[in-house]
Every structure is written in C-alpha cells, then in structure tokens.
Structure 1
Amino acid sequence: MADTYNYPAEIERDEDGRYVVAFPDFGWGATDGATRDEALVEARDLLRELIATTIREGMGLPEPSRAGKRRPLVVPPVQIALKAALYEAYRGAGVSQRHLARELDVAESEIRRMLNPEHSTKVATIDRALRRLGKRVTVTVGEVA
C-alpha cells in the first residue's frame, strides 16, 4: 500500500501552446491549461478523478513513481487522499464490509459510504477506521511549489 497519494505529472506544450498534463502512473486521462500554473491546478482535479475512478472500479491504486524537475508532484485534495488510504487499507486487510462494520460498531451502509469517494466522511471517522485496519494518518505540511 502506498503511503502517499501524491503523483508526478508530465507536462508538455501542445501545438496551440497550451500546457497538457497527464499522470503516467495511471496511464489514462489528461487535462490542460493556458499557463503551466493553470494546468497544474486542473491537474489536481484530474488526479482526484483518477483516484476516485480507480476506487469505484475496485482496482488497486498505482504506486507513485518518482517526481523530478520535469515531473512535478501533484498533491490531491485531502479528502480523496484519506479515502484512498482507507480503500487501500481495507483491500489489504482482506476483510468484508460486514466485518469492518462490526469492528467499528457501525452499520454496513456506513462502511459503504466511507469507501465511496463521492461521499464526504469526517476525518476522525476515517482515522478510526484506518487504525482498526492497522494504519495511522500522519500529516506533513510543506511549502507551495
């Protein structure tokens, strides 16, 4: 399981001069912007959708490859990163939703909502579930690139 959901983006200029951003670790999807900065803002939204779609399809999230000078790291929104961590921990634990619901003393429908990337879940709730699955949340704050 990845311990980060920050992914490197490849940025190229197209024939119209727009900046096109893609995430090679996912192998699909692209976005663009008139400026590099605008393209990277759009890339954050794209990364959120790539992660959410992967979760909805029941697939494993790819390990993030290395960032570099020409491959800046894009940080997804906090909520989707937490959902991704919970999803990966749940998949790795090999337990049923029913089992996890019993462990957390909640309804099974609550587990489905927690694993749904479109449903907003409180951070404390995700943290509690991750701890039950043997994981913990840590926070790192860095400078804006």
Structure 2
Amino acid sequence: MNGYEFERRLRRLGRREGVPVRYQAHGKGSHGRLYYGNRFTTLKDRKKPVGKGLLKAMCVQLGVDADRLEERMAMRYVYPVTIEADEDGRHVASAGDVPEALTEGASIAEALHAMSDALGAALAGYDLAGRALPVPGEPEPGQYLVPVPALVAAKLSLRGAMRAEGLSNVALAARMGVSEGAVRRLVDPDHASRLDGVVKALAQTGHGLIIEDYKETA
C-alpha cells in the first residue's frame, strides 16, 4: 500500500475506535506527521509504497495493531449533494465530501443525474492521483443522496482491493486466465468496460458488490 492508503485505513480504524486521526504536512519536505490520538509517526511521500518493515514500525509508534489495518471496510459510494439555483435559474450541484465534483442542470432532476457522472469522474481522479477516496458523510436536511455510477464504483473497489492485497495487474490476469492488457482496461476507471467483467475480477480478490435501493432526500 502507499501512504495515502495507510492514512485512509488508519482513519477508518480511528472512527471505529473513537480516536482522532490527522496528517500535518512539514513545510515543503517529503515527510509529514501522521497523528493517531496523541501519538504520531513520520510519513514519507504519501504517493509512494510503504514497505512492510516501515509499516510495522509506524504501527508500533502509533500504538495500533497492524493486522487491524488489514480489515478492509466496506465503502458506500453514495454522497450527499447540495442543489442551489443560480442567477440564470440553472441548478448547480456540489458535494462537500468531493468538492471537485461540480455540475449543473436545467432542473433539479437533470442536475442530480449529471452529478452522478461528475462524482465518478472526480473520484477516479482521486484514485489515479493516489489520493484516499473521501468517506461519504451523512446527508443534512435539504441535501440529496447521489450514487456513483455502478461501473466506476466497481472499478474503484477493484483498485482498492488490489492495493490492499498487493496484487499486480499481471497477478490478477493470471488468476482470471486473461491477458494483462485486459486487466489494465478493467482497472482503468476512465475505460468503458463491461460491469460483469469488473465484478468477476473483484471476486478474484475475495470481494464483491452490494446493490441497494435508495430514495433521494431533500
């Protein structure tokens, strides 16, 4: 895993244990401080992989069990969205959890439909940049719940599962009996793959998808 993935897992553990987690950058240097409660460790460039020895040492400093970080929690790809009318009567959609996701529509329904695609594009950008995916917050009164497109959610789940297991494209291709190029397309969040193919790949990592029915709130 890289530093962003380590931080993401630590934050999830902190939420379960009621322990605050924060990252503090150190000027323009390549390292920062990662806090777990009142304990901290230094964390190198978060885009770079973290070796097993370093991972173990950091966990000791933070006072956490490294095995607990391996518990990959389920991710729910549905985000609260705010709709506001602009001066031209257009409906502008934004998501506090994913500020890069912005769009608009002639109606609220059109803006919400467009926002699903905007969320998918933004979250794909997060993952491709090695950034942790924002955990969806609880909707506030007046907000709407908008799901990420199923295909993008499946690909992001697959990419996360592969990182958690340290599974390369080549290794997954061998498990599936397909070419590395085929897997490369399956894990590319910008490629229009077939959903069933991504689900089959995800199953090879021991994970799956849950489909939910939901009602928009406002």
TM-score by length of 1: 0.83
Preserved contact between residue 146 and residue 216 of structure 2 (Cα < 8 Å): no
CA drift at 1:112: 0.9
Answer yes or no: is 1:13 the counterpart of 2:47.
Answer: no
- Verify: 1:64 aligned to 2:64, yes or no: no
What SS is found at the alignment partner of 2:123?
helix
- What is the rounded CA distance, in whole Å, between the counterparts of 1:34 and 1:121 in structure 2? 30
Residue number in structure 2 paired with 1:27? 99
1:44 alignment partner AA:
S
Question: Which of 109, 115, 118 in structure 2 is aligned with 1:37?
Answer: 109
3-state SS, counterpart of residue 8 of structure 1: strand
Q: Classify the secondary structure of the residue corresponding to 2:99.
A: coil
Q: Percent identity?
A: 33
Q: Which has the higher strand share?
A: 2
- Cα deviation per residue 1:21-64 (whole Å; 9 max; x = unaligned)? 11111222321223322221221221121123223334332111
Deviations 1:57-85 (A, max 9, x none): 34332111112332211012221121122
Larger Rg: 2
Post-superposition Cα deviations, 1:67-122, rounded to whole Å, max 9, x if no partner, equal 23322110122211211221222222222222222222222111111111222323
Q: Please state if 1:96 is matched with 2:168.
A: yes
Structure 1 match to 2:125: 53
1: CA distance, partners of 2:186 / 2:177: 14
2:210 to 132, 135, 138: 138
Q: Which has the higher contact order (CA 8 A, sep 6+)?
A: 1
Q: Which runs of 5+ in 1 are unaligned?
A: none
Q: For 1:126, which of 198, 206, 210 is the aligned residue? A: 198
How many positions carry a matched residue from both structures?
A: 145
The question of 1:3 aligning with 2:75 is answered: yes
In structure 2, relative to structure 1, the CA distance for the partners of 1:124 and 1:42 (3 Å cut) is closer
**Per the alignment, in what secondary structure is the counterpart of residue 140 of structure 2?**
coil
| Separation (CA, whole Å) in 2 of partners of 1:31 and 1:19 | 9
CA RMSD of aligned residues (A): 2.2
* Pairing partner for 1:113 from 182, 185, 191: 185
